[in-house]
Structure 1
Amino acid sequence: MTIKPSDTNAPVDRLKIGFVLAKSFTLSAFSLFVDTLRLASDEFDRSGRVLADWEVLGSTRHLIMSSCGVKVAPTSDFVEPSQFHYIVVVGGLLNSDTPIDQDTVNFLKAAAAKNVRLIGVCTGSFILAEIGLMKQHQTCVSWLHYQTFRDRFPDHQVRSDRIFNLDRTRGSCAGGSSAADMAASIVQRHIGHDAARNALEVLQIERARTALEIQPRRPLSIESEDPRIRAVLIMMDRHIEGTITIPELARSVGLSRRQLERLFLSETRSTPALVYRRVRLERAKQVLLQSKAPLIEIALDTGFENASHFSRAFKQTFGQTPTQLRASMAD
């Protein structure tokens, strides 16, 4: 199709998106995505499907239950997937072994074979990965689901610092309000900048966040407006076992090790290595207080070579050993 320049509003072929809703899908992510399309498709909130069109696809017309209990009915059976520019899989709760049925699996695989772009929203990326459609692509997931994704798909590329990712034929989105940002990015690409901006304004969203925006979560109590610091903190939190190196952390935000160290000293008055150790010790302290796991197990899980090394670092940071902390909680 013809891609419309982002700064014009000339008519183009309608952007067409098909939605696949999993069992217990997240209603907010779906509604924000589809409402961004709706508001970008027409002027003055008339909801006409002028510049965009969409369908909720299903193997049956049975109602699909969202995680909050609201049900949505498919509007179309499965049709030729190549008539859509994107097919968006909206996931939700990870409590079902079969979030979609086999007919839906077959449809998604057929769409992939025809190079239709597939997008996983919220845990929709888990569904695409489960059926073998994300292995060659970097997947963006919520920090909440990062470890689960790594455990299930250890040979996949995954990150939890960005809000969404869109590459050649795949997309993934952390969910929540970032669904509107991803939808706005697609609208801007296919319809125009003005349409994307107007849609978000009606939704009372001040501005569209790009794929480079950092997920709004800060480990520890470190406050920094620098997105590179925030991204590195999340990466540290996601590699709590201590397996990521400082040079790797630096490269993840486009810096050299020396540049990252200068940035941390300027913003946090500490080095990346010391902050990383603090992140791991904070997690160890949390596990100590919430479980009866052996000290050696906690030490190894948080990247310390043995229990003795762990105890020394813990006392240096918190003023008492792990054993003393547990004993004080038992009193």
Structure 2
Amino acid sequence: MTTPAPRLRIGFLLAPRFTLCAFANFVDVLRLAADEGDRSRPILCRWRVLSPTMDPVESSCGVRVTPDERLGDPSRFDYIVVVGGLVDEIERLLPDHIAFLRRAAGAGVPLVGVCTGTFILHRAGLLNGYKACVSWFHHEDFLHEFDGLVPVSDQIFVVDRDRLSCSGGASSAHLAAFLVDRHIGPAAARKSLAIMIIDEAMGAERPQPGLPLELTTQEPLVKRALLAMQQSMEAPLGVEELARRLGVGRRKLERHFADALGMTPRQADRQIRLAQVRHLLGRGSRSVARIAAETGFCDSSHLIRAFREAEGTTPEAWRKAQQGEAARPS
């Protein structure tokens, strides 16, 4: 019996110290869509890790992945996916990789940047005139690296013609599911995500969880404070406790926030927690009381007051409006 040709062929380039979970999520969606059940035969999808040297590539967590084959002709793939990782390491991508990516672009093969793979594509001159997605965590790094170019950091992935990009982590599964849906069908995409215990496929426009973009800054003390706020969301730190943990006085911390963001630490903390509230409201049917507990509000009444003050409506009304917007035909 003749094996049918795969409908989706992906070639992966792994940057030194790449993010393992972003790569694994992408591959597992392909694996589960490629065969019946979870038998993992690469029938409907085919994926290969490419390298000019065939040396194992170390991920940021230390796990090494051995390439499958050499670079060769990029046109044998439907997409070339570049998986980035630690920002300080992406400059170590070999010149052969960059030449291969440029050949792929010249041959019309769509290019995909995952995590800081977007940085790599941009450095190679392959994102000029395109929109590109980067993680909120790397938003300021991108602005610093590429003067005058503003990346998309308020949604989980971006599709702009023959350039696709995502923020990494779980979003790589959703971008892979988008490609499976496009080339194999929605049932295969749903099946992959269901086996991976992912409730539903998220569209590109789904906002990234993380710090609100208005709180991005390069000021070191304020950055550390914002991350500490995010990590203690269920039990918010008082300003005195936050300053103590950071080893500075309260007045110094407040002065740095005023200079960097034009607000107090308490106001920034409220914005972080309300951003997470909006994220959770859009992710299913969690009760307002449960969301309040997970985001550091005293109870549902406290959350409703704060949310109404910020949004002009209640959390439940906001959720229904968002669900109605998502269900509306495009």
Q: TM-score, normalised by structure 2?
A: 0.66
2:180 corresponds to 1:187: yes
Task: Give the Cα–Cα distance (whole angstroms) in 1 for the partners of residues 127 and 267 of structure 2.
Answer: 41
Task: Give the Cα–Cα distance (whole angstroms) in 2 for the partners of residues 69 and 13 of structure 1.
Answer: 32
The percent of aligned pairs where both chains have the same amino acid is 44
Select the structure of larger CA radius of gyration: 1
Deviation at 1:97, TM superposition (A): 5.7
Alignment match, 1:302: 261
2:128 corresponds to 1:135: yes
Structure 2 counterpart of 1:185, one-letter code = F
1:107 is aligned, of 94, 100, 107, to 100
Query: How many residue pairs end up in the alignment?
Result: 242
Alignment match, 2:153: 160
- Against the structure 1 CA distance between its residues 97 and 170, is the aligned structure 2 distance closer, same or farther, given a 3 Å change threshold? closer
Alignment of structure 1 residues 13-24 onto 2, 5 Å: 14-24=7-17
1:65 is aligned, of 58, 83, 91, to 58
- Against the structure 1 CA distance between its residues 109 and 295, is the aligned structure 2 distance closer, same or farther, given a 3 Å change threshold? same
2:44 corresponds to 1:85: no
Deviation at 1:14, TM superposition (A): 1.9
Q: For structure 2, which runs of at least 5 residues remain unmatched after alignment? A: 220-238, 269-330
- Against the structure 1 CA distance between its residues 109 and 198, is the aligned structure 2 distance closer, same or farther, given a 3 Å change threshold? same
Tell me if the contact between 1:139 and 1:165 (Cα under 8 Å) persists in the aligned partners. Answer: yes
Tell me if the contact between 2:6 and 2:46 (Cα under 8 Å) persists in the aligned partners. Answer: no
Task: Give the Cα–Cα distance (whole angstroms) in 1 for the partners of residues 26 and 117 of structure 2.
Answer: 13
Task: Give the Cα–Cα distance (whole angstroms) in 1 for the partners of residues 264 and 194 of structure 2.
Answer: 49
Q: TM-score, normalised by structure 1?
A: 0.66
Task: Give the Cα–Cα distance (whole angstroms) in 1 for the partners of residues 102 and 77 of structure 2.
Answer: 14
Q: For structure 1, which runs of at least 5 residues remain unmatched after alignment? A: 1-10, 220-233, 242-281, 304-312, 319-331
2:35 corresponds to 1:76: no
Deviation at 1:236, TM superposition (A): 1.9
Structure 1 counterpart of 2:121, one-letter code = L
2:229 corresponds to 1:236: no
Deviation at 1:290, TM superposition (A): 6.3
Q: Secondary structure at the match of 1:119?
A: strand
Tell me if the contact between 2:16 and 2:90 (Cα under 8 Å) persists in the aligned partners. Answer: no
Structure 2 counterpart of 1:235, one-letter code = L
Tell me if the contact between 1:137 and 1:157 (Cα under 8 Å) persists in the aligned partners. Answer: no
2:87 is aligned, of 69, 72, 94, to 94
Tell me if the contact between 2:84 and 2:90 (Cα under 8 Å) persists in the aligned partners. Answer: no
Deviation at 1:96, TM superposition (A): 2.1
Q: Secondary structure at the match of 1:166?
A: strand
Deviations 1:142-192 (A, max 9, x none): 111110001101232302110111110111111001110000000000100
Deviations 1:24-47 (A, max 9, x none): 001111011011001101111111
Deviation at 1:296, TM superposition (A): 8.4
2:28 corresponds to 1:50: no
Alignment match, 1:174: 167
Deviations 1:96-144 (A, max 9, x none): 2633100011000111112211111011111111111112111111111
